[in-house]
Amino acid sequence: AVVSTQSTGFLSEGPDTLFKVAVSLLKLSRNELISQDFEEMLKYFRVSLPKRFMNKKQGQKLLSTAASVKINPGKLAVWEAQFHQLQDEKRSLQDPVRR
């Protein structure tokens, strides 16, 4: 409902756009999130965050913020490698029968 025709092209760009929207959600919610404990954050993501961006003005703010997010491919590659390394370490600690 909050997505305009102009934003449709931006949203059709794929996974990079989803990442930018996710980063924007965190960026726009930063002040609320840093003041909460883990359980409160979970509730915020489940209840408050969706309500916050339901109106047109906030939805447009989210999309304009997402459009301005710059992705550094080098940093993403490093983070991806670190993620895979952690996953491999986690798998190596599992019981071989359960793998």
Residue-wise pLDDT for 45-62, tens only, equals 999 999 999 999 999 999
pLDDT surpassing 50 at residue 1: no
Q: What tens digit of pLDDT does each residue of 17-37 get?
A: 888 999 999 999 999 999 999
Please state, in angstroms and rounded to a whole number, the distance separating the CA atoms of residues 21 and 12.
Answer: 12
* Residue 6 pLDDT greater than 70, yes or no: no
What pLDDT is attached to residue 94? 82
Distance between start and end Cα atoms, the chain = 44
Residue type, 50: P
Residues 6+ apart with CB under 8 A from 67: 10, 20
Query: Whole-angstrom Cα distance, residue 73 to residue 76?
Result: 5
Task: Tell me the average pLDDT of the chain.
Answer: 85
